[in-house]
Amino acid sequence: MTIAAVDYDGLIPNNVALGQDVRVKRALEKWHPGYINWWKDMGPEGFQESLVYLRTAVSVDPKGWAKFDYVRMPEYRWGVLLAPQMEGRKIPFGRHKGEDAWQEVPGEYRAMLRRLIVIQGDTEPASVEQQRHLGKTAPSLYDLRNLFQVNVEEGRHLWAMVYLLQKYFGTDGREEAEALLQRRSGDADTPRMLGAFNEKTPDWLSFFMFTYFTDRDGKMQLEALAQSGFDPLSRTCRFMLTEEAHHMFVGETGVTRVIQRTCEAMKEAGITDPYDIAKVRQLGVIDLPTIQKKANLHFSLTLDLFGNEISTNAANAFHAGIKGRYRENRLDDDHQLESNTYPVLRLIDGKIQNEDAPALSALNMRLRDDYVADCNVGVGRWNKVIESFGIPFEIKLPHVAFHRHIGEFSKIKADVRGNVLSDAEWSNQRGDYLPSDEDRDFIESLMQPQYEAGKFASWIAPPKVGIDNKPGEFEYVKIA
């Protein structure tokens, strides 16, 4: 077997020679039934017997790693897939820069590594739990299939982290692996670890915004962990990133199709004012200001996932060579940052302004800046669609101080332009920036399932091309 090929012979598909690693194989086989029970309890509600046209990894070769076929979700071949080991790989940053990458966990960084792996692992099942009700209101079979593809791959990402815990962290790794199946998104007693993963994903516009904004945090964090000096983590994250790309595609094209349908309907009805909300809603599409509010919500919730702007945890992880920067290998500096500074947006005397901070402490801020830049690329594409219809409206990302619960701006209230507001001003204006109950009720009223092959709900345009180049009429899910 080459490292790129995946061995599908045993219970757990893998490219890590699990057959020769009896201890880890047994541990994973023991964990497997609990995982399947979790999937059945907390995975997509209904549809477990349906045949879904899913892709499964057959190799980790960047070209042609996927095979498409109809699969019942509980029979999906979840497995352990790592990108190939790079011969002679060195630790690319921090105090150990230039030393051989670690193939085992360095004792002094064990706790730090375990914490990062557990946090990463926790987000994966959380998102599946958040999205479990959406199948009931899918706008098409195409979208239903994409939802399930995202869900099974998040499940596989959980497997990826659990493999690392089981293989490298002994008894505490096993306990953490169990706990990952016990916590529940939104549960008052045993919530998931990070805030955004305890929020609801109540409708499909939220799902598209989540996969656009929150999965993109996944991309940034995985890119940073893919730089890790702990080689098995780096290799795991590198393969996860190839799957993550599809999730963001689902988000970006999903929002694009919603916007496109709204603009088309407005044009057909001769409505030129995007703020004529009642009239637009009568057309059975989502008005652009409400789409903006959803973007405000999901963007701000996701910014919280970057932690505090100034963080000793982040500094320690970088210094130790455990978590790097976004695409560290493409940056041109000493990769140690001991004497560098980085501008951090802070609240100083009630005003929001930049202040230089030691670059090591400012790594969360830096990753968040890279994230915002990445978000803006797709937003630009959404605006091109609106522009092509000649509608005077532009989707804009809110200021980073808007609606924050973690970090520098969690202490204040700010509007979408970054003006600091009093509590009273915030209560008055909140409904202008975030979805109101009325907005939510309207969106919910549109969420009627459309399960006929080739058909789409009123509020979303069909995709430009099918998955795996399938034609428009293709039955992506055979509902049972």
Q: Which residues bind ligand BYC (CB under 6 A)?
A: 116, 119-120, 123-124, 127, 154, 194-195, 214-215, 217-218, 221, 304-308, 311, 313-314, 323, 364, 406
Q: From the CB of 214, what's the least distance to ligand BYC, in Å? A: 4
What whole-number distance in Å separates Cα of residue 446 and Cα of residue 466? 24
What whole-number distance in Å separates Cα of residue 134 and Cα of residue 196? 18
C-beta closer to ligand BYC: residue 262 or 311 = 311
Residue pair 418/399 in contact (Cβ under 8 Å)? The answer is: yes
Closest by alpha carbon to 274, among 389, 384, 445?
389
Q: From the CB of 123, what's the least distance to ligand BYC, in Å? A: 4
Secondary structure percentages of the chain, helix, strand, coil, to 5: 50, 10, 40
Name the 3-class secondary structure at 132: coil
C-beta closer to ligand BYC: residue 132 or 261 = 132
Q: From the CB of 132, what's the least distance to ligand BYC, in Å? A: 13
Residue pair 153/247 in contact (Cβ under 8 Å)? The answer is: yes
C-beta closer to ligand BYC: residue 215 or 328 = 215
Q: From the CB of 462, what's the least distance to ligand BYC, in Å? A: 25
Tokens for 245, please give them: 């790309």
Closest by alpha carbon to 202, among 34, 31, 443, 40?
443
Q: From the CB of 124, what's the least distance to ligand BYC, in Å? A: 5
DSSP 83: P
C-beta closer to ligand BYC: residue 204 or 393 = 204
Q: Say how many C-beta atoms besides its own lie within 10 A of residue 62's C-beta.
A: 11
C-beta closer to ligand BYC: residue 54 or 385 = 54
C-beta closer to ligand BYC: residue 210 or 459 = 210
Name the 3-class secondary structure at 303: helix
C-beta closer to ligand BYC: residue 262 or 296 = 296
C-beta closer to ligand BYC: residue 120 or 253 = 120
Residue 55 has phi, psi (to 5 degrees) of -100, 140
Pairing assessment for the beta strands 420-421 and 413-414 based on DSSP bridges? antiparallel
DSSP 463: P
C-beta closer to ligand BYC: residue 155 or 274 = 155
Tokens for 478, please give them: 């055979």
C-beta closer to ligand BYC: residue 4 or 42 = 42
Residue nearest to ligand BYC (CB): 307
Q: From the CB of 238, what's the least distance to ligand BYC, in Å? A: 14
Distance of alpha carbon 372 from the chain centroid: 14
**CA gyration radius, the chain:** 23
Q: From the CB of 294, what's the least distance to ligand BYC, in Å? A: 16
Q: From the CB of 136, what's the least distance to ligand BYC, in Å? A: 20
Q: Which residues, other chains included, contact 310 with Cβ-Cβ below 8 Å and sequence gap of 6+?
A: 344, 357, 361, 362, 364, 365, 408
Pairing assessment for the beta strands 51-57 and 477-478 based on DSSP bridges? antiparallel
C-beta closer to ligand BYC: residue 340 or 388 = 340
Please give the helix or strand (H or E) that residue 150 lies within, else none: helix 141-168
Distances in whole angstroms, Cα of residue 165 to Cα of each of 22, 119, 256: 15, 12, 38
Q: From the CB of 128, what's the least distance to ligand BYC, in Å? A: 8
Q: From the CB of 154, what's the least distance to ligand BYC, in Å? A: 5
Pairing assessment for the beta strands 420-421 and 66-72 based on DSSP bridges? unpaired
Q: From the CB of 257, what's the least distance to ligand BYC, in Å? A: 20
